[in-house]
Amino acid sequence: MTILVTAFDPFGGESVNPAQLAVEALPDIIGGHTIIKAIIPTVFGQSADQVTALMDAHSPDAVVCIGQAGGRDAITPERVAINIMDAKRPDNAGMIPEDVPIVPDGPAAYFSTLPVKAMVSAITAAGIPARLSNTAGTFVCNQLLYRCLHHAATRMPDCRCGFIHVPYIPEQTSEKPDMFAMALEDIVKGLTAAMAAIE
């Protein structure tokens, strides 16, 4: 099995993105699965354009997109993506869409086609905090998940897609003492367990 794993670059004034660092540190083979890695911009439209192009180029069996969710205290596979872009802050290109559909006339939502509960169980079994999330927000992360699922549904029905959010890492919380942080090596361990749970 081939799994395309993507991560966003730093955004929101941060100098690092734990998603990017973790994906770069993932092994190239996990549980017998070949891992293809890509770092993409935190930009509406561009991010999804790049990932869907990679889907077409590599024909992966699964796509797992990774993003940062500062403030969460666990690794959180996402259950659903909704057809809306509604940003409270600009993306890395300065765009702040408000109440804009991701795909005009597209379905209201798509459910992840990855085994999200099995992934949560695998991460937890590896000793890393994890839980299922029912909201990927309305920023670039949700847009990417929706576009990947839409692309798969309309053009690559055998490709499964999903998204995982990861917490801050300690270097990001030195001036945010009330925020949870997870060691980068634990994020890598948790993501590795999640990839191995995809069958």
* Cα distance between residue 75 and residue 32, in whole Å: 22
pTM: 0.97
Task: Clarify whether 78 is annotated catalytic.
Answer: yes
**98 included as an active-site residue:** no
Q: Which pLDDT tens digits describe the chain residue by residue (199 residues)?
A: 999 999 999 999 999 999 999 999 999 999 999 999 999 999 999 999 999 999 999 999 999 999 999 999 999 999 999 999 999 999 999 999 999 999 999 999 999 999 999 999 999 999 999 999 999 999 999 999 999 999 999 999 999 999 999 999 999 998 888 899 999 999 999 999 999 999 9
Residue 33 annotated as catalytic: no
Residue for token pair 């379905």: 107
60: Cβ contacts below 8 Å, ≥ 6 apart: 2, 3, 4, 36, 159
Question: Considering the chain, what is the average pLDDT of its residues?
Answer: 97
Ordered alpha helix ranges (H), the chain? 18-25, 46-58, 116-125, 140-155, 184-196
Q: Do residues 12 and 19 touch, judged by C-beta distance below 8 A? A: no
Tens digit of each residue's pLDDT (9 = 90 or more) over 91-103: 999 999 999 999 9
CA distance 185 to 162: 22
Tell me which of 141, 148, 159, 161 is the catalytic residue.
141
Domains delineated in the chain: 2-196 (3.40.630.20)
